[in-house]
């Protein structure tokens, strides 16, 4: 029997594995990640699955069916800094709850089910995201394993320290045809479902994203002696860039642009900042709109740097295009929502998800669950147990009625 109470308790249990005292931060291949993996492995085994951690650190549970291709479910187990406890975790725990309900009834389906707890979707520790789902999709360039974190530790070294063998990466990739579809339950992280009084929604597409890093090189100097007209202040230049990026994003209602992280060096009160590094994150439901925004941002940042006589380096960290959900899967999800007695609300996802990577090997679908005020990437992120119940019931109904395309 599905238990929404257990879903909520398990999200709470996972939230206790955090590097942040009094809050939730769990990054890829950390001690906290290992502890969360152990919890999830246990829950998967209790639900009748074979469960293990793959070579890139994903937790993978498999519930055999009468035939080979699997219906893949899941979400991510890593979090942003000072995160909410449902972004990612709700999808993993709800999928396990659905398999547990099948196992309790000793019910097997015409297809296998895999539940994956992806190790890295947020990309907080290393400046690259979706390592787990890209590896499963066979879309991870081994060179990426050289990427280092703020402490200079490479992904390869972190994998080894976690007890994993990077050489096993090639075995993580699924063969084409082995995954019939990927379906993810996730909180909406937006205000639409709440505004319309709906517990769940069917996602139409996942917006594309561009993540960039800008380094401005000015000249450090004495804050008390350098006249204003002789300064090459990297932080003042960055401040002008941030407002330019905001202006570019505001120019189109479908576009969003964020400077989420900025660091000024050397970072002393009486030193003119010599170097500044900041990030840019653009999202849009149309790739050409996002590319245009990236082009405008590059031009404006370079013009500001030139005007202020500061050096400028712009790196593209990662880009993933819009990932459309498959109509045949959306209609099966919609049927499940309707059968649960709710109107079917279709909506796009402004947030990125692992389905963007898995789309390389399978059609994708997403079921959104209402979250309070649409708040996410924030400890105030919250859902009700009643909505968790609707989400899990809808997902289970989708699973039990899942039909492979003719």
DSSP per-residue letters across 93-149: HHHHHHHHHHHHTT---SSEEEEEEES-SS--SSS---HHHHHHTT---GGGGG-B-
* Cβ-based neighbour number of residue 267 at 10 Å: 11
CB of 167 to ligand HGY, least distance (A): 28
* Closer residue to Mn ion (CB): 194 or 300: 194
**Could you tell which of Mn ion, ligand HGY, none binds residue 352, using a CB distance below 5 to 8 A set by kind?**
ligand HGY
Compute and round to an integer the Cα radius of gyration of the chain.
Answer: 22
CB nearer to Mn ion: give 130 or 399. 130
* Nearest CB to Mn ion, comparing residues 88 and 132: 88
Least distance (Å) between residue 178 CB and ligand HGY: 25
- Please give the Cα distance from 387 to 190 (Å, whole number): 15
Minimum Å gap between C-beta 366 and ligand HGY is 13
Check if the beta carbon of residue 15 is closer than 8 Å to that of residue 24.
Answer: yes
Site for Mn ion in 72-111 (CB under 5 A): 87-88
Determine, following the binding rule CB under 6 A, whether residue 78 of this chain makes contact with ligand HGY.
no
| Min separation Cβ 354 and ligand HGY, Å | 9
Q: Helices 89-104 and 385-400 sit at what angle, rounded to 10 degrees?
A: 60
Residue 88 interacting entry, from Mn ion, ligand HGY, none, C-beta within 5 to 8 Å by type:
Mn ion
Structure-token pair, residue 7 = 């879903």
- Residue number with CB closer to Mn ion (88 or 273): 88
Of 399, 333, 363, the closest CA to residue 200 belongs to 333
**Cα-based angle 207, 370, 135 (whole degrees, multiple of 5):** 45
Nearest approach in angstroms of CB 5 to Mn ion is 23
How many CA atoms lie within 13 Å of 205's alpha carbon, on the beta-carbon side?
A: 13
Beta strands 112-118 and 70-76 are: parallel
Judged by CB under 6 A, the chain residues 114 through 143 that form the site for ligand HGY are 121-122, 129
Q: Which of 61, 273, 352, 391 binds ligand HGY (CB under 6 A)?
A: 352
Helix (H, G, I), strand (E, B) or coil at 62: strand
Q: Least CB distance from residue 84 to Mn ion, whole Å?
A: 9
Between 86 and 402, CB nearer to ligand HGY: 86
Q: Does 190 bind Mn ion (CB under 5 A)?
A: no
Residue 27 contacts ligand HGY per CB under 6 A: no
**Complex with ligand HGY: residue 376 or 394, whichever CB lies closer:** 376
The site partner of 54 among Mn ion, ligand HGY, none (C-beta below 5 to 8 Å per kind) is none
Taking the complex as a whole, the smallest distance from the CB of residue 252 to ligand HGY amounts, in Å, to 18
Residue ranges in 149-188 that form contacts with ligand HGY under rule CB under 6 A: none
> Which CB sits closer to ligand HGY, 122 or 387?
122
Using CA atoms, how far apart are residues 97 and 8, in angstroms rounded to an integer? 11
Structural contact between residues 66 and 124, judged by C-beta atoms closer than 8 angstroms: no
Q: In angstroms, rounded to a whole number, what is the distance separating the alpha carbons of residues 310 and 275?
A: 9
Minimum gap (Å) between residue 187 Cβ and Mn ion: 8
Which chain residues interact with ligand HGY by CB under 6 A?
121-122, 129, 351-352
Which chain residues interact with Mn ion by CB under 5 A?
87-88
């Amino acid at each position: 029997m599905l238990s929404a109470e257990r879903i909520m308790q398990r999200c709470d249990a996972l939230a206790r594995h955090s590097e942040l005292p009094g809050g939730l931060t769990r990054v890829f291949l950390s001690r906290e990640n290992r502890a969360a993996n152990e919890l999830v492995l246990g829950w998967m085994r209790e639900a009748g699955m074979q469960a293990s951690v793959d070579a890139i650190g994903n937790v993978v549970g498999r519930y055999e069916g009468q035939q080979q291709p699997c219906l893949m479910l899941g979400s991510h187990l890593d979090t942003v800094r000072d995160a909410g406890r449902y972004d990612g975790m709700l999808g993993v725990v709800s999928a396990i709850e659905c398999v547990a309900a099948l196992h309790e009834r000793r019910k097997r389906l015409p297809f296998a089910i895999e539940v994956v707890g992806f190790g890295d979707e947020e990309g907080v520790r290393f400046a690259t995201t979706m390592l787990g789902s890209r590896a499963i999709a066979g879309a991870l360039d081994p060179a990426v394993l050289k990427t280092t974190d703020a402490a200079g530790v490479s992904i390869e070294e972190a994998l080894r320290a976690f007890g994993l063998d990077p050489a096993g990466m090639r075995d993580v990739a699924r063969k084409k045809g082995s995954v019939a579809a990927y379906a993810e339950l996730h909180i909406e992280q937006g205000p639409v479902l709440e505004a319309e009084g709906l517990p769940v929604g069917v996602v139409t597409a996942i917006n594309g994203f561009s993540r960039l890093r800008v380094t401005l090189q000015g000249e450090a100097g004495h804050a008390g002696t350098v006249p204003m007209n002789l300064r090459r202040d990297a932080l003042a230049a960055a401040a002008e860039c941030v407002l330019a990026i905001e202006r570019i994003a505001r120019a189109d209602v479908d576009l969003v642009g964020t400077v989420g992280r900025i660091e000024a060096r050397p970072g002393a009160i009486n030193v003119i900042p010599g170097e500044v590094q900041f990030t840019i994150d653009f999202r849009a439901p149309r790739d050409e709109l996002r590319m245009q925004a990236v082009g405008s941002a590059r031009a404006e940042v370079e013009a500001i740097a030139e005007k202020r006589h500061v050096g400028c380096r712009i790196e593209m960290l990662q880009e993933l295009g819009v990932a459309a959900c498959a109509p045949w899967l959306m209609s099966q999800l919609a049927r499940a929502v309707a059968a649960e007695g709710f109107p079917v609300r279709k909506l796009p996802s402004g947030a990125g998800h692992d389905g963007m990577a898995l789309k390389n090997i399978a059609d994708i679908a997403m079921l959104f669950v209402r979250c309070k005020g649409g708040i996410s990437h924030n400890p105030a992120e919250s859902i009700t147990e009643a909505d968790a119940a609707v989400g899990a019931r809808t997902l289970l109904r989708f699973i039990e009625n899942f039909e492979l395309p003719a």
